[in-house]
Amino acid sequence: MTLLIGSHLSAAGGCHRAARAAGELGMSALQIFTKNNNQWQGKPISLEDRNAFLSSVADNCLAPPVSHASYLINLASPKEDLWNKSVDSMVDEIERASYLGLAGVVMHPGAATDGDRESGLDRVARGIEAVFERLSTREREEVSETKVRLLLENTAGQGTALGWQIADLTEIFQRTGFHASLGICIDTCHSHVAGYDLTTQEGLSRLVDELSIDSLVDRVSLIHLNDSKKPAGSRVDRHEHLGLGHLTLDGIARFINHPVFAKLPMILETEKGVADSGIDWDLVNMEVAKRLYGL
């Protein structure tokens, strides 16, 4: 069994550059931003860039890539103008991903800044429904079909962020009628600091058991593989290179070899740069993961 692993890479200068870089680094998976992640609007993707990206993905034998939605998006917001802009932006994110042939778009559920969890979860669910309805209407008009999945990512739980408890994700799925295009991305750092202690079998089992409620475990289709600078239960989101944080090598090995996660694409979101050894950090982290895989 082969480990599908890659990283979030910059698409500056064109998405095809990220796919080419992934191939040069020996990656088999890839995550990108399809536009500036700190802006609401992005310039249109040219047909030339689209075709170059698709060719590069195929040439480098990458698993279907994914994108990460803008950090500005907050479907849990009690502010109507921000909620509406978030819906508009998510529609755009998924349409851009569809144009590039991506498998999914990762989105944080959002923050209930009014402190009302129940209302926040309801706003997220209504926002997701609005996004899918908008996409469905456009598909009927254009006689096309969007196969991109919206992947809800579990969060670290900082501040008023929703999604740090798997129960939050379960409720969102329930409130959206388990929409077929809705999936899940599990982040190892976020899981650990949210209280699912991945250094222990008990913590990992609790995560899987909670995902198994309403068969959400079958909706998990992507992993963000990150170690954590902060300890279990801290609810502080600080990614660390694999084996250098609080997850421990044993914890990482236990997670990536679990039957639920072992076959899924794994994306590193660790700091870029070069290690003291002179080797690119992405290569270092991938080598750690590959060494632990199959143990």
Three-class secondary structure assignment of the chain? CCCCEEEECCCCCCHHHHHHHHHHCCCCEEEECCCCCCCCCCCCCCHHHHHHHHHHHHHCCCCCCEEECCCCCCCCCCCHHHHHHHHHHHHHHHHHHHHCCCCEEEECCCECCCCCHHHHHHHHHHHHHHHHHHHHHHHHHHCCCCCCEEEEECCCCCCCECCCCHHHHHHHHHHCCCCCCEEEEEEHHHHHHCCCCCCCHHHHHHHHHHHHHHHHHHHEEEEECCEECCCCCCCCCCEECCCCCCCHHHHHHHHHCCCCCCCCCEEECCCCCECCCCCEHHHHHHHHHHHHCCC
pLDDT tier at 101 (50, 70, 90 boundaries)? very high
245-290 confidence digits (pLDDT tens): 999 999 999 999 999 999 999 999 999 999 999 999 999 999 999 9
Residues 6+ apart with CB under 8 A from 191: 154, 198, 207
Answer CATH for 5-292 from 3.40.640.10, 3.50.50.60, 3.20.20.150, 3.40.50.2000: 3.20.20.150
The length of the chain, given as a count of residues: 295
200-257 confidence digits (pLDDT tens): 999 999 999 999 999 999 999 999 999 999 999 999 999 999 999 999 999 999 999 9
Q: Which two tokens stand for residue 261?
A: 């996660």
As a whole number, mean pLDDT of residues 158-174 equals 97
Task: Say what the pLDDT of residue 137 is.
Answer: 83
CA torsion through residues 121, 123, 125, 131, sign:
negative
Task: Say what the pLDDT of residue 42 is.
Answer: 87
Cα–Cα distance between 160 and 117 in angstroms, integer?
A: 8
Residues 6+ apart with CB under 8 A from 231: 193, 246
Average pLDDT, the chain: 95
